[in-house]
Amino acid sequence: MNMSNFLKTIFLALVIVAAFFVPVAAVVPVDVITLPASDKSGGMPLMRALNERKSLRAFTDEAISQQDLSNLLWAAFGINRADGRRTAPTARNSQQVRIYAAMANGVWLYDAAKHALYKVLERDVTQSFHAPLTLVYAVADDKYGPMHAGAVFQNVGLYCASAGLGNVVKAQGVNVLTNDELKLPADYAVVIVQSVGRPR
């Protein structure tokens, strides 16, 4: 094969490969959100945030910004020490709390180590929760599980108070998503949800 035919062959091979991959890439959904760095220096003084903390049940449709989402998830159960320990305590540092974020673009699992969200479900369930963001808390099914969820949702409640966001924790709503949809380990269960949004 002379040089010209060789180059033609290479070009043709590249066109065939591109024709195969480009349309596939175009339809592959985004399934990872790398969150921006959380702002760990801002917010209102703790005593004022405690004074502002309350349940609120009516939200606008406005999506929560990625910065608020980042701050909120870090406040919830992010890593705050070099050894990987978290903003909320867990018995024997088991860290057995899974936080799912249900938003219009699907349901996402928070990975604290990567400070990222991984899509587990394509479905928009925001109408079922009447909020643009609902955190779904799944914990290991033992006597400490609900305590762990409580520590985390209080962190979120205080962040919301500080950031001017509304929130409510609800025992109702724990069945909106099934264990299969959340790809939960066998010994985990959803114990509470927490809706967040701009006050209406």
Ligand X SMILES: Cc1cc2nc3c(=O)[nH]c(=O)nc-3n(C[C@H](O)[C@H](O)[C@H](O)COP(=O)(O)O)c2cc1C
Ramachandran quadrant class, 147 (left: phi over 0; alpha: psi -120 to 50; beta: rest): alpha
**Single residue of 8, 40, 48, 54 touching ligand X by CB under 6 A:** 54
Distance of CA 22 to the CA centre of its chain: 29
Cα 133 from Cα 119, distance rounded (Å) = 14
| 169 scored as a contact of ligand X (CB under 6 A) | yes
The two tokens of residue 26 are 């175009």
Size of the site for ligand X (CB under 6 A): 9
| 168 scored as a contact of ligand X (CB under 6 A) | yes
The residue (of 35 and 156) whose beta carbon lies closer to ligand X is: 156
The residue (of 96 and 194) whose beta carbon lies closer to ligand X is: 194
The residue (of 35 and 177) whose beta carbon lies closer to ligand X is: 177
* Beta-bridge partner residues of 102: 107, 134
**Single residue of 9, 34, 55, 178 touching ligand X by CB under 6 A:** 55
**Continuous segment of H or E residues that includes residue 192:** strand 188-197
Give the residues lining the site for ligand X (CB under 6 A): 54-55, 57, 168-172, 192
